[in-house]
Amino acid sequence: MHLVIVESPSKAKTIEKYLGKGYTVRASVGHIRDIPKSSKNAIDIEKGFVPNYVVVKGKEKIISELSALAKKADTVLLATDPDREGEAIAWHLAQALKLKKPQRIVFHEITESAVNEALKHPRPVDTQLREAQEARRVLDRLFGYDLSGLIWQKVRYGLSAGRVQSPALRIIMEREREIRAFIPEDFWTLAAQFKTKANALFVASCVEEPRSEAEAERILAAGRKGAWGVASVEEKEQKRATRAPFTTSTLQQTASTRFGFSPSRTMQVAQKLYEAGHISYMRTDSTNLAKEAQGALVSQVTKEFGPTFAEAKEYKTKSKSAQEAHEAIRPTDPRKLSAGSNEEQKKLYRLIRARALASQMADARVMRTTITAVAEGAGIPAFTANGSRVVFEGWLLADPEARGEDVELPKVTAGEKLSLMSIESEHKQTQPPGRYSEAGLVKELEKRGIGRPSTYASIINTLVTRGYVVKEGRTLIPTDTGDVVSSFIEEHFKDYISDSFTAEMEDELDEIADGKREYVKTLKDFYGPFTKAVKSKKKIAKITSLGDVPAEFPCPLCAGPMEFKLSRNGKFMSCKKFPECHGARKEDGSIIEPPREIGETCPECFEKHGGQLTEREGRFGKFIACSRYPKCKYIKKDALLNSTGVKCPDCIAAKRENGEMVERRGRFGPFFSCSNYPDCKLAIKARPTGNICKICSALMMDGTKTIPERCSNKTCPNHNPHKTEK
């Protein structure tokens, strides 16, 4: 028996269809081991930057099952994805399953011929590719762990930095500062409608944009009086060259433009198409096509559109370090007009197919026409009208959505008289540069050599998850938190988030993959200077103020000056006398209610410092704490300001006193948890009813849509429809 291990269950199902008896295909369901998230000993630096890998939580059962199958197998074939990450997963499988002679097979498309061909060429796990991926993970961990720790101390707890995430945030903030500094300028656009001698109408625009209203009015007045005629007619045929088949970056950009897909959504949909065998591997920065694939595309173009449109072409890969896969993204069988199990998959497949077919077709030809009209003797600028029409469709037949609209202009000749029907002006202002869209940021990251195809979507997701940017439609807008974090890193670690440093580090990782560079030396060259830079900033002052508040917003309690500060929810105004004065306002100037004394003394600090208990409004609702916060961090646990009146069942079972379910507010909205937190960590999403499930003793609550776990009771929060009541 031969055991084939892949990452995805759906990929396993597809491959199993192609392999006959004697083959068992199983999935690892992604990574099975990783560097621990919080441990300071995650990486042994002294021993040569050795990661201390641990089994990913929940993967113990998978490892056990795979290990049992591997012991029975004659051969174990590791068929993970054909990139560095796939190579790393293959190595981790070999280590975790204690495989003595594992064989690695690679294919860039999941088709019967590709899989069977890969079986003929097994090889050992590529140590260089695995080391390159490991170096990336270790670099990212060292960078993020050390720098994030400093940011926690100097800015605010819970913030983070990243080797690639921080340069991406810097790029967004650089654009934002351009927008803030932009000073709009007035200008006027002028348009005139003309009638030809054949009574055809067309609109022309002034070739100059006046910068004053007086100049615009002068042109309008002279234009209305002048005698108009055609000064020239230019017709020029231009080529619309074909485009290369998709890479990861260009697919993400086009899917965003055409369908509004986010990069992460595009990759999720493409992953499903790949695993089902419909497209080639979707993480690539190469525009190459295999000869067989190119031949199939040319043949399909000939069959579908005719021999006039077919033209075999090769494209140069723009990325100097293209390495994630050998081919561009393409359909595995271009004869399939449609593929996929849902509408999103079908749309993306059709886009990939259209682009691949178009890449092997003749250029389109477009006739561009320019009519120049002048008012004779009026002393004003010329007006021009531009039109275009397709004279040979070429590759646009395969991808008609890329065509655009034809703008037909009437037939006129030089010297022909024109009748002015109307001439108008419109006041406008110059606009600042636009903020980055997700597709725009991907394009910019690729252009600057920051990140690789497999990282673009995760970079954006991280920025959004951390609260450094928000998405409005397709636009990425930096938050106050993102602004503060980026400004801090730019001020103190500018060299480590520069384009040149980040791109050079990517090149060094590529050199490890190519065997041209050593793992330990690369990490040592980075970490030595970096850790010194971090330590040198330990003595800088903590950032408590983000600048003074305008004088029209005085402290609502003492009328003194205020300053901007950063909270978890963004900027707010705080009295400069804090903590002596607790006056605060929201960023819009509205007053934040101050803590209210409840007539009780603080049990921890009253005798020494006179602390009083106050009612406050926090992220998770109201609570009672010491008035001397943050010097005294006492919180009254049994202050049930948002009590539901329901006793906590876990506290009852553990014989803890005063445990009641209280309403709180978290990142994802309201929830209900025990007042004895952190001693009791019971938390539920829906409001508790006070009833207890007779089957599993769980707390009952309103609503039935919960995470299924173990109970057969349909109204229980632990309900699992696949379990039966005993």
281 is catalytic: yes
Cα(552)–Cα(562) distance, rounded to whole angstroms?
A: 10
Residue pair 680/650 in contact (Cβ under 8 Å)? The answer is: yes
Residue pair 32/55 in contact (Cβ under 8 Å)? The answer is: yes
Cα(44)–Cα(50) distance, rounded to whole angstroms?
A: 5
We find that the CATH architecture of domain 136-181+434-535 is Orthogonal Bundle (1.10)
Instruction: Give the residue-averaged pLDDT of 10-34.
Output: 92
Q: Where are the domains of the chain?
A: 2-125, 136-181+434-535, 186-241+365-429, 248-362, 642-726
Strands 383-392 and 475-478: unpaired
Strands 2-6 and 75-78: parallel
Q: For residue 668, what are the contacts with CB-CB under 8 A and spacing of at least 6?
A: none
Which of 707, 724, 726 has its CA nearest to residue 716? 707
* Cβ-based burial of 140 (10 A; exposed 0-12, middle 13-18, buried ≥19): middle
The CATH homologous superfamily of the domain defined by 248-362? Topoisomerase I, domain 4 (1.10.290.10)
The H or E element spanning position 492 is helix 480-492
Does 51 sit behind a cis peptide bond, omega within 30 degrees of 0 on the bond before it? Answer: no
Residue pair 80/87 in contact (Cβ under 8 Å)? The answer is: yes
Q: What is the pLDDT of residues 590-625, one digit of tens each?
A: 888 777 888 889 999 998 889 999 887 665 567 788
Q: What is the pLDDT of residues 251-307, one digit of tens each?
A: 999 999 999 999 999 999 999 999 999 999 999 989 999 999 999 999 999 999 999
DSSP letters for 189-236: EEEEEEE-TTS-EEEEEESS--SSHHHHHHHHHHHHHSEEEEEEEEEE
Cα(62)–Cα(5) distance, rounded to whole angstroms?
A: 11
- On the question of pLDDT at 408 being above 60, the answer is yes
Q: Specify whether the backbone of 451 is left (phi greater than 0), alpha (psi in -120 to 50) or beta.
A: left
* Backbone φ and ψ of 291, nearest 5°: -55, -40
Residue 712 has what pLDDT?
A: 59
Least confident of 179-183, 639-643, 671-675, 702-706: 702-706
pLDDT band at 148 (very low <50, low <70, confident <90, very high): very high
Question: What are the DSSP E strand ranges found in 580-659?
Answer: 584-586, 591-592, 596-601, 612-618, 621-626, 643-647
β-strand partners of 6: 27
Cα(314)–Cα(217) distance, rounded to whole angstroms?
A: 54
- Of residues 704 and 518, more confidently modeled: 518
* Backbone φ and ψ of 457, nearest 5°: -65, -40
- On the question of pLDDT at 110 being above 50, the answer is yes
Residue 598 has what pLDDT?
A: 85
Q: What is the pLDDT of residues 424-463, one digit of tens each?
A: 999 999 999 999 999 999 999 999 989 888 889 999 999 9
Instruction: Name the token pair of 264.
Output: 């992460």
Instruction: Name the token pair of 364.
Output: 């389109």
Question: What sign does the dihedral 39-44-49-54 (CA atoms) show?
Answer: negative
pLDDT band at 687 (very low <50, low <70, confident <90, very high): confident
The CATH homologous superfamily of the domain defined by 186-241+365-429? Topoisomerase I, domain 3 (2.70.20.10)
- On the question of pLDDT at 325 being above 70, the answer is no
DSSP letters for 296-357: HHHHHHHHHH-GGGB-------S-TT--S-SS-B-BS-TT-S---SSHHHHHHHHHHHHHHH
Cα(573)–Cα(554) distance, rounded to whole angstroms?
A: 9
* Cβ-based burial of 333 (10 A; exposed 0-12, middle 13-18, buried ≥19): middle
2-125 CATH fold: Rossmann fold (3.40.50)
Question: What are the DSSP E strand ranges found in 344-440?
Answer: 364-376, 383-392, 417-429
Cα(6)–Cα(89) distance, rounded to whole angstroms?
A: 9
Q: Torsion angle, CA of 439/444/446/450, rounded to 10 degrees?
A: -120
pLDDT band at 473 (very low <50, low <70, confident <90, very high): confident
Instruction: Give the residue-averaged pLDDT of 14-27.
Output: 91
Q: What is the pLDDT of residues 622-646, one digit of tens each?
A: 778 888 876 788 887 655 456 778 8
Instruction: Give the residue-averaged pLDDT of 683-709.
Output: 61
Integer angstrom CA distances of residue 397 from 298, 308, 360, 394: 14, 12, 12, 6
Cα(56)–Cα(69) distance, rounded to whole angstroms?
A: 20
Residue pair 544/572 in contact (Cβ under 8 Å)? The answer is: no
Chain center to CA of 145: 21
Instruction: Name the token pair of 534.
Output: 């971090």
Cα(696)–Cα(684) distance, rounded to whole angstroms?
A: 16
Cα(725)–Cα(127) distance, rounded to whole angstroms?
A: 51
Cα(523)–Cα(529) distance, rounded to whole angstroms?
A: 11
**Of 53, 274, 281, 436, which residue is the catalytic one?**
281
β-strand partners of 417: 229
- Sheet with 612-618, strands from edge to edge, namely 596-601, 612-618, 621-626
